[in-house]
Amino acid sequence: MKDLSLLTTADLLPIKMIFFDADGVTKRKGTDFEKIEGKWVMKTWGLTEVMKSGLEKLRQYYIVCITSGRSMSYLLDVYGTLVSNRFYLQSEIGMFCYKDGKNCNTCDLTSEEISVLGEIKLGLKKVLAIEGVKGFEPKERIITLHCRHEIPEVLAVVAEADPRGLMHCWWNGEAYDILPKRVDKGVGEKWLCQSLGIKLSEVMVVGNGINDQEQGQKVGISVTTDPDHLVADFEVRGEERGGDALVQQILHLRA
């Protein structure tokens, strides 16, 4: 992998679109739950004014897409003022894309996949009382269970409900993401590129974790803000500031 400082104007010439991961790239990573008026409320970090301003400037040169495991309602709360025909959102690890003012499906789940996810969600409700389990993050399709540490009982529930092994069960350091193995950010990436007439060779992908791996394949340029866990063409360290550094580097090269 090359250091980000080696990125050049020539490298950027073929690029027409940039996909950014949300947490850990464009905003600080981290999720917690706080009890407010008897209800558990999810709390995360917001978008800094520096990053927001950088993304606004960047969409003058490139089509931009924020891609995340978060729900679409969450992404609209954080990035909604940036949305346009030059700025898109993809939620739940590529399953949904906000385009032309509506939330579009990028792939349809089978009845078996829906049934297995339902069984897993039901089984996981039994582990909510275990020490270290925080709670479910609200989502339409994938299951995300936040925990303070890895919980072996979660894997047991998934294994029992999914004997055919249809599902991924990823531990991302703060939560388990459970979703069909055939679904990933690469699926959403290809769906949007095809709808906009953009080739993968004209795409830059910026990620930081396991759910960004498929998306970074066969694209023009891949960048990681966490080179210890994700291989890419270029690296910039810093799960909180790596995205800022990249945006500023691109804007500098385009000036």
Tens digits of residue pLDDT in 198-238: 999 999 999 887 666 665 567 999 999 888 888 899 998 87
- pTM reported for the whole predicted model: 0.92
Confidence at 28, pLDDT banded by 50, 70, 90:
confident
How does DSSP classify residue 57?
H
Highest mean pLDDT among 26-35, 40-49, 165-174: 165-174
Tens digits of residue pLDDT in 114-141: 999 999 999 999 999 999 998 999 999 9
- How does DSSP assign 163-199, residue by residue? TT--EEEEE-SSEEEEEETT--HHHHHHHHHHHHT--
Query: Domain coordinates of the chain in residue numbers?
Result: 2-107+183-254, 111-180
| Neighbouring C-beta atoms of residue 203, cutoff 10 Å | 27
CATH of domain 2-107+183-254: 3.40.50.1000
pLDDT of residue 45: 83
CATH of domain 111-180: 3.30.70
Whole-number Cα distances in Å, 27 to 38, 46, 198: 28, 7, 26
User: CA-CA-CA-CA torsion for 68, 131, 180, 123, nearest 10 degrees?
Assistant: -140
Query: What is the rounded average pLDDT of the residues 155-171?
Result: 96
